[in-house]
Structure formats: C-alpha cells, structure tokens
Amino acid sequence: MKISIIYHSESGNTREVAEIIKDGCLKVEKVEVKTMSIDEFEPEFINSSQTIILGSPTYSGDISWQLKSFLDQNKKIDYKGKLGAVFATENFIGGGADNALLTMISHLLVKGMLVYSAGAAAGHPYTHFGVVCIQAGSESQKERAAIFGRRIAQKTVELFK
C-alpha cells in the first residue's frame, strides 16, 4: 500500500508535521509512504498510491495560494477513488486552520476521493476534519499527528487490501 503526503511549506512547519504523520503511517505494516512538497512532487508515486494526505499552512484563514494553484492546475495526478486526508498548520489558535482543512476536503471530494479523518469514532485524540498544529506543533499536537498518520494507514490497508 502506498501513501503520498503532499504539502506546501514556507517556514518548514508544515513539512515537519508531514514527517510526523509519515512516521505514524509507517507504524502500520505493508505501507510505503513518501512526503513531497508541491514543488518536487512525484506523479508516478502519487498515481500508484491508494491514499493522498494533503497539508497546508494557513494564510488569511485558508490554504496557501500555492497549494490552491497546485490543486486547481495540476493535471498529472489521478485522484479518483483514492482515500484522502488533510492537515494544516497555523501560527496561533483561531488562525483559520479548520477552514483550511475544509477547503482541502472540498478539493478532495470534487476530485472523486473518499475522505477519512477517524473523527470521534476512534476515540481520543479526536480528529474531526484532520490534524491542526500551531506552528510545528506542541508535543501533544505532534502525538496527535502521529496517531492520525497511523489511523489513516490502518484505514488504507483495511480498504485496499
């Protein structure tokens, strides 16, 4: 099973959270995971992936314009039928990361993906829309991100075995 984690990061915070999510995914057997910036993405790996996880910093209460442009204009990726999940970073509580998560979820749904977050069904920690970290994340936020990655990988194996 392959999982692609695609992100945009200017400060390095979103990249760091992507790596934490990757580490969580790798706790599940039979999973291969790659993190990649939108500037250096690998269409072949992404297209052979069963799951795509998107990540963005939050600017003005939404995703970065760079990720929006990537999602709107990139025609090299086939999203349909894949499992999708999202995460965001923000500089402070209330910075709009929940809105950024919903924007990314909208893009995934429009592209024909199944969206999964584990929500409240998997128990603590809850991830209703996805993971949010303040900057690169506190220790508890990093733990939440790793658990999120593990849960997404488990669902990938469950759905695509």
Q: What is the CATH number of the domain that holds 31?
A: 3.40.50.360
Predicted confidence at residue 44, as pLDDT, reads: 97
Q: How far apart are CA 82 and CA 113, in angstroms?
A: 5
What's the pTM value of the predicted model, to 2 decimals?
0.95
What pLDDT, in 10s, does the model give residues 78-137?
Answer: 999 999 999 999 999 889 999 999 999 999 999 999 999 887 777 788 788 999 999 998
What pLDDT, in 10s, does the model give residues 55-77?
Answer: 999 999 999 999 999 999 999 99
Domain count, the chain: 1
Predicted confidence at residue 120, as pLDDT, reads: 77
Q: How far apart are CA 1 and CA 37, in angstroms?
A: 20
Judge if the upstream peptide bond of residue 57 is cis by omega within 30 degrees of 0: no
Q: Whole domain around residue 148: which residue ranges?
A: 2-160
